[in-house]
């Protein structure tokens, strides 16, 4: 017999983000803005060094085959750079793994090695990655790869999971009202994807929904789960 359900805790509200060097891992070109785009804009606005690692080429984002695959991969990189510029970020690294590839053990080990190298090279204080139950195989695979790399490198900072495909029960809501217009422009930079899915509308709605608990449904927020480390108590608002 299953146990009785437990009331989840009320998430903390942050009106600021932690200070420090930031490394964000994105499964596809556009997840970096679709998920933690407002949070990354807040980091950039307060002068934090921000690097984004985009791990796949995003070629599956053209299911109707309207483009040559090689040209489409370059287009998606260009859209990613343009979207990040809207957030005030110009440091992006593209690994170019095949989009939608089922990872073998060898692939997983290569990904862990590359993520470990990225962590060692940039020395972040804060890491963002897809949360553990985000409902896309590439997102799930990246969560696995990055968390193993965090453990392998004995990472001592704060790692936080963001949402795209599945809404989480969050540990933190970050208010992003002041930078929501930047996030909108960043999402619209990905016109190759907007042509297929109006994800700016859907994820804009998710950001509005995240204002419900603490902000009385006014403004915008982004949700996070703590993956590694301890949430800084100094950022929590009453």
Fold of 12-227: Rossmann fold (3.40.50)
Pairing mode, if any, of strands 158-162 and 221-228?
antiparallel
Tokens 């990225």 sit on residue: 118
Average pLDDT over residues 118-136: 97
Residue 219 DSSP class: S
pTM above the 0.75 mark?
Answer: yes
Taking residues 19-25, what's their average pLDDT?
98
Question: Which residues are CB-neighbours of 149 under 8 A, at least 6 positions away?
Answer: 111, 112, 115, 116, 118, 119, 155
pLDDT digits (tens, 9 = 90+) for 130-157: 999 998 999 999 999 999 999 999 999 9
**Cα(23)–Cα(227) distance, rounded to whole angstroms?**
14
Q: Nearest to residue 236, comparing CAs of 37, 23, 9?
A: 9
What is the pLDDT confidence band of residue 101, given thresholds at 50, 70 and 90? confident
Q: What is the dihedral of CA 31, 32, 33, 36, to 10 degrees?
A: 110
Give the per-residue pLDDT at 238. 61
Nearest to 55 by CA among 21, 22, 90, 24: 24
pLDDT digits (tens, 9 = 90+) for 181-238: 999 999 999 999 999 999 999 999 999 999 999 999 999 999 999 999 999 999 988 6
Helix, strand, coil distribution of the chain in percent, nearest 5: 40, 20, 40
C-beta separation of 237 from 14 below 8 A: yes
Give the bridge partners for 223, in sequence order: 173
pLDDT at position 161 = 98
- Give me the residue spans of the domains in the chain: 12-227
């Amino acid at each position: 017999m299953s146990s009785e359900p437990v009331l989840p805790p009320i998430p903390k509200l942050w009106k600021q983000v932690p200070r420090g060097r930031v490394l964000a891992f994105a499964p596809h070109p556009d997840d970096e803005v679709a998920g933690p785009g407002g949070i990354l804009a807040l980091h950039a606005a307060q002068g934090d060094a921000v690097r984004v690692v985009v791990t796949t080429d995003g070629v599956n984002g053209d299911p109707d085959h309207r483009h040559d695959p090689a040209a489409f991969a370059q287009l998606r990189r260009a859209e990613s750079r343009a979207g990040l510029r809207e957030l005030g970020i110009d440091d992006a690294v593209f690994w170019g793994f095949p989009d939608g590839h089922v990872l073998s053990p060898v692939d997983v080990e290569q990904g862990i090695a590359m993520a470990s190298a990225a962590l060692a090279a940039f020395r972040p204080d804060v890491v963002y990655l897809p949360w553990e139950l985000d409902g896309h195989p590439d997102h799930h695979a990246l969560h696995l790869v990055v968390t193993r790399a965090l453990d392998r490198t004995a990472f001592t900072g704060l790692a936080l999971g963001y949402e795209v495909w599945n809404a989480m029960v969050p540990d933190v809501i970050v208010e992003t009202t002041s930078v929501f217009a930047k996030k909108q422009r960043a999402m619209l930079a990905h016109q190759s994807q907007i042509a297929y899915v109006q994800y700016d509308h859907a994820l804009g709605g998710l950001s509005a929904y995240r204002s419900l608990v603490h902000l009385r449904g006014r403004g915008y927020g982004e949700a996070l789960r703590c993956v590694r480390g301890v949430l800084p108590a100094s950022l929590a608002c009453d």
